[in-house]
Amino acid sequence: MRLRKPLHGLLAMLLACLLAACEKPDPLQTTRILAMGTVIDITTWGVSPRDARAAFEDLQTLFQRWHQEWHAWLDSPLSRANQAFAEGREATLTPDLLTMLEHARAAAHASEGLFNPAIGRLIELWGFHADERPDGPPPSQAAIMELLRKQPSVDDIIVDGDRVRSTNPAVALDFGGLKGYAVDRAIDYLRAHGIQNAIVNAGGNLRAIGSKGGQPWRIGIRNPRGPGVLASIELSGDESVATSGDYERFFEWHGVRYHHILDPRSGFPSIGTTAVTVLAPTAELADIAGKPLMIAGPAKWLELAHRLGITQALRVDESGRVEITPALSARLKWEIEPAPPVEVTAAP
């Protein structure tokens, strides 16, 4: 029975180690903010819990302010501008909104209209401007056609300093890259406050800076069909990832699923692509690029990615097959068993 004493000692030692490991403050601090109609997750590494909490509180205030300033439908400078466009009046935009307008205009040109931030009325018609659209009938073909005939375009908007007006009353701005832009601004805020290792993720559009004590950040890419994660990628330094998918916002009516990514050519949800994931230098660009790449479909998406300056992207089609650029393929790890059928393709 002499055995028992050393065993006790060993156990006590092991338990002590375990407890000691638990008492260290976690270098990872996380918070979750509900704002801008989405879930915003913020992670910091190597920041004391107190400093992290202070930064999180400031960001909460900032996101809520941005939500109020940039909302396309509630009373905001943007919704007042949309109202002014409809009435042929002039309106004033904030510097942030002017910047977003310029970026959106460039993306609209590069995508030959597949990215169209001026179709706010179409989004409203479908009901996708609400946080949660209840199941119900889709809009009538006639109503959609009537809106499309008016051909709203960002080129209808004339900018003079901070004053804007539209030559087309059907124009209503609904920026596709709003969440991404907010993520970039939040990263700017963190950096200005000395936080160099962080992730800001707004509704799946994320930007990661720095690392976890030299270890890269591990980012999952959601499986568009089924639970969990399709693939993972390691980010370090400063990179952004955004995914657009038909599962994000949708409603069902008579067994048909209508998702929120509307093809500006047909006025209906895009078809042929389930999800697109894009890596880009900024969250805004990653966010903007996703939708038109989904709309472009199998024939055109690589060419469009090239024109938008995107070299790392993947596209999942309706059968679960994946097309991926060589640059992204080289660093991606599949997280589902078996791995999906994959085709590595470069832009023509």
36 vs 144 by CB, closer to another protein: 36
Tell me which of 23, 131, 160, 337 binds another protein, using CB under 8 A: 131
Rule CB under 8 A: say whether 133 interacts with another protein.
yes
117 vs 203 by CB, closer to another protein: 203
Provide CB contacts within 8 A for 185, sequence distance 6+: 62, 66, 96
Asked if residue 153 lies in contact with residue 112, where contact means CB atoms within 8 angstroms, the answer is: no
The token pair that represents 319 in the structure block: 């059968």
Rule CB under 8 A: say whether 103 interacts with another protein.
no
- Strands of the sheet containing 91-92, edge to edge, are 91-92, 163-166, 157-160
**DSSP state at residue 138:** P
User: Which of the ranges 112-120, 158-166, 170-178, 236-244 carries the binding residues for another protein, by CB under 8 A?
Assistant: 236-244
CB 322 → another protein: shortest distance, Å? 15
Q: What is the CA 81 to chain-centroid distance, rounded?
A: 24
* 96 is annotated as contributing to ligand binding: no
CB 33 → another protein: shortest distance, Å? 5
Rule CB under 8 A: say whether 256 interacts with another protein.
no
Rule CB under 8 A: say whether 178 interacts with another protein.
no
Asked if residue 139 lies in contact with residue 126, where contact means CB atoms within 8 angstroms, the answer is: yes
Asked if residue 204 lies in contact with residue 198, where contact means CB atoms within 8 angstroms, the answer is: no
Question: DSSP states of 24-71 as a string?
Answer: SPPSEEEEEEEETTEEEEEEEES--HHHHHHHHHHHHHHHHHHHHHH-
Burial class (CB in 10 A: 0-12, 13-18, 19+), 168: middle
Rule CB under 8 A: say whether 242 interacts with another protein.
yes
Tell me which of 206, 261, 308, 322 binds another protein, using CB under 8 A: 206
Residues 59-88 touching another protein, rule: CB under 8 A, are 60
Rule CB under 8 A: say whether 31 interacts with another protein.
yes
* 287 is annotated as contributing to ligand binding: yes
Q: Which residues bind another protein (CB under 8 A)?
A: 1, 3-4, 6-8, 10-11, 14, 18, 26, 28, 31-34, 37-39, 41, 43, 60, 131-135, 199, 201, 203-206, 208, 212, 217-222, 229, 232, 241-243, 245, 248, 251, 277
